Amino acid sequence: MNTTVVAQLQRQFQDYIVSLYQQGFLDNQFSELRKLQDEGTPDFVSEVVSLFFDDCSKLIDTMSRSLERPDNVDFKQVDSGVHQLKGSSSSVGARRVKNVCISFKECCHVQNREGCLRCLQQVDYEYKMLKTKLQDLFNLEQQILQAGGTIPQVDIN
Partner 1 sequence: MRGDSFSMSIENIPDSPMVSRKKKMKIRKVFDKMTQWVTPWRSNLESPREMMILRGDVEQDEFQYASSHCLSSYYSVFVVRLAIMVMLAILIGLLTVLTWHFTRIYTKQSLKTLAYGLRYELLQRPVLRMWSVVNTTSELTTAQVKLSEYVIKKSDKPTTQEELVEMYQAMKDVTWALFASAKALNAITINYRNGFVQAFHRDPASSSTFYIFSDLKNYSINGIGPEDVSGWNNQSIHGNMSAIWYQQQLDPVTGEKLGKPLKIPPDDLINIAGISQVPDGEASWHVTVSKYMDSPLLSAALPVFDASNKSIVAVVGVTTALYSVGQLMRDLVDVHGGHIYLTSQEGYLLATSTNGPLLKNTTNGPKLMKAIDSEEWVIRAGAQWLEKTYGSKRPQEVHAENVKLGNQRYYIDSFYLNLKRLPIVSVVIIPRKFIMGKVDERAFKTLIILISASVCIFFIGCVCILILTNGVSKEMKLRAELIRQLDARRRAEASSNYKSQFLANMSHELRTPMAAVIGLLDILISDDCLSNEQYATVTQIRKCSTALLRLLNNILDLSKVESGKLVLEEAEFDLGRELEGLVDMFSVQCINHNVETVLDLSDDMPALVRGDSARLVQIFANLISNSIKFTTTGHIILRGWCENINSLHDEMSLTVDRKKPWAPMKTKLVQHRNHLQKSCKNANKMVLWFEVDDTGCGIDPSKWDSVFESFEQADPSTTRTHGGTGLGLCIVRNLVNKMGGEIKVVQKNGVGTLMRLYLILSTPETADQNIQPDFSKYGLVVLLSMYGSTARMITSKWLRKHGIATVEASDWNELTQIIRDLLEMGSRDNSFDSQNNIADSLRAELSNIEEIKNPVFVIVVDIGVLDLTTDIWKEQLNYLDRFSIKAKFAWLLKHDTSNTVKTELRRKGHVMMVNKPLYKAKMIQILEAVIKNRKRCNGLRNRGNGSDESHDCLEIDPTQFDTCSSDDSSETSGEKHIDKPVQPSTLHSPVLKNYLIDATNSNDDSRSASMTQKNPEEEDWKDRLYSGIVLDGKNLKSLEGIRILLAEDTPVLQRVATIMLEKMGATVTAVWDGQQAVDSLNYKSINAQDPTEEHKSSEEETANNSIKSQSSLRNSSPYDLILMDCQMPKMDGYEATKAIRRAEIGTELHIPIVALTAHAMSSDEAKCLEVGMDAYLTKPIDRKLMVSTILSLTKPSIFQTSLSA
Per-residue x/- track, 94-123, partner 1 (CB under 8 A): --------x---x-----------------
Q: Which of 67, 86, 107, 134 binds partner 1 (CB under 8 A)?
A: 86
Q: Which of 22, 28, 111, 121 binds partner 1 (CB under 8 A)?
A: 28
Of 123, 154, 132, give the one whose Cα is nearest residue 32.
154
Q: Which is nearer to partner 1, 33 or 117 (CB)?
A: 33
CA 90 – CA 83 distance, rounded (Å): 10
CA 149 – CA 146 distance, rounded (Å): 7
Q: Which of 6, 26, 73, 92 binds partner 1 (CB under 8 A)?
A: 92
Of 20, 134, 142, give the one whose Cα is nearest residue 150.
142
CA 107 – CA 40 distance, rounded (Å): 42
CA 81 – CA 31 distance, rounded (Å): 25
CA 18 – CA 109 distance, rounded (Å): 35
Q: How far is the CB of 140 from partner 1 (least distance, A)?
A: 22
Per-residue x/- track, 45-74, partner 1 (CB under 8 A): --xx--xx-xx-------------------
Question: What residues line the site for partner 1 (CB under 8 A)?
Answer: 27-29, 31-33, 36, 38, 41, 44, 47-48, 51-52, 54-55, 80, 83-84, 86-93, 102, 106, 155-157
